Amino acid sequence: MYYIQYIVARFFIFILLLFPERLRFKFGDFLGTVAYKLIKSRRLTALINLKMAFPEKSEEEIEKIAKKSFKIMIKAFLCSLWFEKYLNKPKNIKIINQESIENAYTKGRGVMAATMHMGNMEASTVSAGEHKIITVAKKQRNPYINDYITKLRGKAHYMEVIVKN
C-alpha cells in the first residue's frame, strides 16, 4: 500500500511540475480552500487558536485569517517540491534583518529561528548563507515518501535534518 501511495504522489508531483509556478500557487490556494472545508478538526483547531491569540478580532476576521493560513501552509509544502529553482530567484526571497544573523555568527553565537509548523525549511538555508543549518523533521510513516523527502532535503546546502519518530 505504501508503494502505491508513493507512486500516486510522485505522479501528482510530476504533473504539478509541468505547470508554470504561478499556476502551481493557484492550485495551492485551491487545495488550501478544500483542506479548510474538508478537514474539520484542523479548521476548528485553527479557529480556536486564532480566537485565543486575537480576542479583539471579529469572527469574520478570524475565519479570513484561518483560510489564508491554510492556503499558505499548502503553498509552502508544495513549494518544497521545487525549492531549488524557487530559492534561486532573488524576487522570491525576502530576508529581514540579515545583519543580526551575521552579527551573531561573527560573535560565535548560534541563531535559532522559529518557522511555521509545516513549511519550507529549506528556505532557511538562503538566510543562513554559508552557515550550517540544523533542523528537526518528523519521520513519515510511508518509507518511500520519507526517503523521497529526505533526498529532496539533502539537496539544500549546509542543512542537516534531525529526524524524530
Confidence of residue 82 (pLDDT cuts 50, 70, 90): confident
pTM: 0.77
pLDDT tens-place string over residues 55-80: 999 999 999 999 999 999 999 888 88
- Calculate the average pLDDT of the chain: 87
**Angle at the Cα of 63 (from 57 to 65), degrees rounded to 5?**
75
Q: Hey, where are the domains in the chain? A: 1-81, 96-164
Closest by Cα among 76, 69, 81 to 13: 81
pLDDT tens-place string over residues 28-40: 999 999 999 999 9
Count of CB atoms within 10 A of residue 46's CB? 20
Cα separation, 68 vs 159, in Å, equals 29
Q: Which residues contact 155 (CB under 8 A, 6 or more apart)?
A: 83, 84, 122
What sign results for the dihedral spanned by CA atoms 111, 115, 121, 122? negative
